[in-house]
Amino acid sequence: MAGGRVTVIDIAKAAGVSKSTVSLVLQGSPLVNEGTRVKVSAAMRELGYVYNRGAATLRQTGAKSKIIGVVVNDLTNSFFAELAVGVDMVVQSAGFVQFLSNTSESIDRQREVIASMREHGISGLIVSPARATEAADFKPLVAAGIPVVVAVRSLPGAKVSSIVSDNHEGTAAAVRHLASLGHRRISFLGGFPNTAVFAERLTGYRDAVVEVGLGFDDELIVSSAPSRAGGADAIARTMAMGNPPTAAVCFNDAVAFGVCDGLRARGMEPGRDFAVVGFDDVIEAQTAVPALTTISVDPQGMGRRAAQLLLKQINAGKVEAENVTAAVRLVVRESCGAAQRKSREELA
């Protein structure tokens, strides 16, 4: 039983029919007689037949197997583990299986695993790119007609589908949250003004500030490098103002960390003396700074959406790349909610 694999021809012989009839049964074709069908099925069960999907894929023109590749940059981070779970859910129920690989932010490994996946004939790829991934890295894939969905991190000029956080709604939700806590002067800190992401997030902030009836003050927008150092710099400049804010919506979580640093440097405790909200770009905020409110997405939901997006493209043959945004939610930490509430009372 070890070497002797049982094939369609074996079960054809056992059932007293021909190869192709068995094949039709396998595909659930209506062309085959009911009696024949059960006879064949019985033989398959009896002989312990297992379908050889590789052979089938080979024969089919186009040679697409029912495999979709998933590549994440850090599976150790539970955000990405959840993302993978979300993907797996829809992928499985669509009859596909999931190749999952972890790159640990290594661009070389990313290249390797994607190459390996291609050799195995994946019919689509979902990837949360490692840092420093170039848009061009996916050119060969799309040229070969393999749909790609980039998730979590957007890729500059790649002509592939993507799913990232809803930038506009994220900062807007943050502003509404802070306003509901009583804050009247809310700043927008960090980021380089000449990027699309910055524009979206700033517009969300601006729209919400107006919406909640706070006057819009240009002075409250302080750009900087989108880094931890940049955040520290931005908060320093902000606090030097005549009428400083009591809260900040930060361009991303790296900036938020820097803002916290800067606050502490001046003897203020973030969350207690000054409310800060970070935007989960790098997805590290969850563990790094517990006393921080963050704008995040539901990772499983994002995974499901990504998979749906991909399957749509696979089934539709080839479609234009589609860029969608994932709904965000505000994650207010316990340690932070109480503190921010206190800051409201002081302001009242």
How many angstroms separate the CA atoms of 83 and 64, rounded?
24
Q: Which of 42, 51, 316, 335 binds its own copies (CB under 8 A)?
A: 51
Cβ 37 to DNA, closest distance in Å?
7
How many angstroms separate the CA atoms of 293 and 178, rounded?
10
- In the list DNA, its own copies, none, the entry touching 159 (Cβ below 5 to 8 angstroms by class) is none
Please list every residue from 106 through 135 that binds its own copies, using CB under 8 A: 109, 112-113, 115-121
Dig out the tokens for 319 from the structure.
Answer: 């479609």
Amino acid identity, residue 250? Answer: C
Nearest alpha-carbon partner for 228 in 273, 286, 289: 289
How many angstroms separate the CA atoms of 38 and 25, rounded?
9
- In the list DNA, its own copies, none, the entry touching 102 (Cβ below 5 to 8 angstroms by class) is its own copies
Cβ 50 to its own copies, closest distance in Å?
5
Report if residue 23 touches DNA, rule: CB under 7 A: yes
Report if residue 52 touches its own copies, rule: CB under 8 A: yes
Binding region for its own copies (CB under 8 A) out of 29-37, 81-89, 230-238, 332-340: 81-89
How many angstroms separate the CA atoms of 173 and 331, rounded?
11
Between residues 264 and 318, which has the closer beta carbon with respect to its own copies? 318
How many angstroms separate the CA atoms of 324 and 210, rounded?
26
Q: Which of 42, 45, 46, 60 binds DNA (CB under 7 A)?
A: 60
Report if residue 277 touches DNA, rule: CB under 7 A: no
Interface with its own copies: number of residues (CB under 8 A): 49
Between β-strands 124-127 and 97-102, what pairing exists: parallel, antiparallel or unpaired?
unpaired
Report if residue 65 touches its own copies, rule: CB under 8 A: yes
Helix boundaries (H) for the chain: 8-15, 19-26, 34-47, 53-59, 78-93, 107-119, 139-143, 167-180, 196-211, 228-239, 253-265, 285-288, 299-315, 334-347
How many angstroms separate the CA atoms of 205 and 67, rounded?
41
First to last CA, the chain: 80
Between residues 96 and 251, which has the closer beta carbon with respect to its own copies? 96
Report if residue 290 touches its own copies, rule: CB under 8 A: no
Report if residue 106 touches DNA, rule: CB under 7 A: no
- In the list its own copies, DNA, none, the entry touching 7 (Cβ below 5 to 8 angstroms by class) is DNA
Report if residue 224 touches DNA, rule: CB under 7 A: no
| Sign of torsion over alpha carbons 126, 82, 304, 278 | negative
Cβ 3 to DNA, closest distance in Å?
9
Dig out the tokens for 57 from the structure.
Answer: 């894929």
How many angstroms separate the CA atoms of 87 and 339, rounded?
37
- In the list DNA, its own copies, none, the entry touching 306 (Cβ below 5 to 8 angstroms by class) is none
Place of tokens 């749509």: 312
Between residues 18 and 92, which has the closer beta carbon with respect to DNA? 18
Query: Rule CB under 7 A: which residues touch DNA?
Result: 5, 7-9, 12, 16-24, 26-27, 31-33, 35-36, 51-52, 55-56, 58-61, 63
Query: Rule CB under 8 A: which residues touch its own copies?
Result: 1-3, 5, 48, 50-55, 57-58, 61-63, 65, 67, 75-76, 78, 81-82, 84-85, 88, 92, 97-102, 104, 109, 112-113, 115-121, 140, 143-145, 318
